[in-house]
Structure 1
Amino acid sequence: MQQLRCQVCAHSARTRHGIIFLAGPDEARPQEAVVRTAQPPVCLRHARTAAEQCPHLDGRPTVFLAQSAPLYGVIGTPYQYSDDGLQAISATDEALPYGHPDLRWFLASQMVRRLRAYTVITLDDLPDP
């Protein structure tokens, strides 16, 4: 995720058209002003394979072709000190942005990117690898 490598083959996911991110059919809302994802991108060669093989994508993903996808923050488990020592607090799926003061009490499990300058396309719109 940090180096924008394909989640299938680990080669660069950058294409001359942008970076391909896939989201579940009911997961992303492209009409909203902010789109964030914890799913690593895919390369052009593996976009269709990922869509077919990943149960989360259900064979009908939302396909984002992003020109810009800066790192935003992390998803994970927050912790706090209590009388019994260090205690985990119930986690949510909300991303904690980098620079947030609570980040030092956070055990990250996934990086999150914010998609900017993107186009929503279909798998059929992708050029052949």
Structure 2
Amino acid sequence: MSSDADHDVCGMSLAIDVVGGKWKLHLMWVLGAGPQRFGQIRRLLDGVSEKVLAENLRHLESTGVVHREIFPEIPPRVEYSLTPLGETLRLALEPLEMWGDANREALATASRPSAPQSPPARVAL
């Protein structure tokens, strides 16, 4: 990270501001497969509420990585897709996905709860 006043925020911080949180990386992955409607995205992301999904899509749209297109049809149709900037972010995230795939077993083992430990012995003073 540079100490110049013009570079107060490092690139990693900027990237985390875009995709940080529980659902944004998942949204990038879903939209990487192509344009999706809101309902399609919600079905693919099990457990996300409509409110949280809408907030996350708005955030990604405001950062310029997601495009929201409203089609002039009745009933209205809205699709979300990655912008060219979003596509560069998706490409940057691919190594993270490959790391997760390559380390799936080690991560699953590490995240298993260990056997309950007995409480530490009390020390008499």
Into which bin does the TM-score normalised by the smaller protein fall? Answer: under 0.3
Which structure has the larger Rg? 2
Larger strand proportion of the pair: 1
Normalised to the residue count of structure 1, the TM-score between the two structures is 0.24
| More contact order relative to length (CA 8 Å, sep ≥ 6) | 1
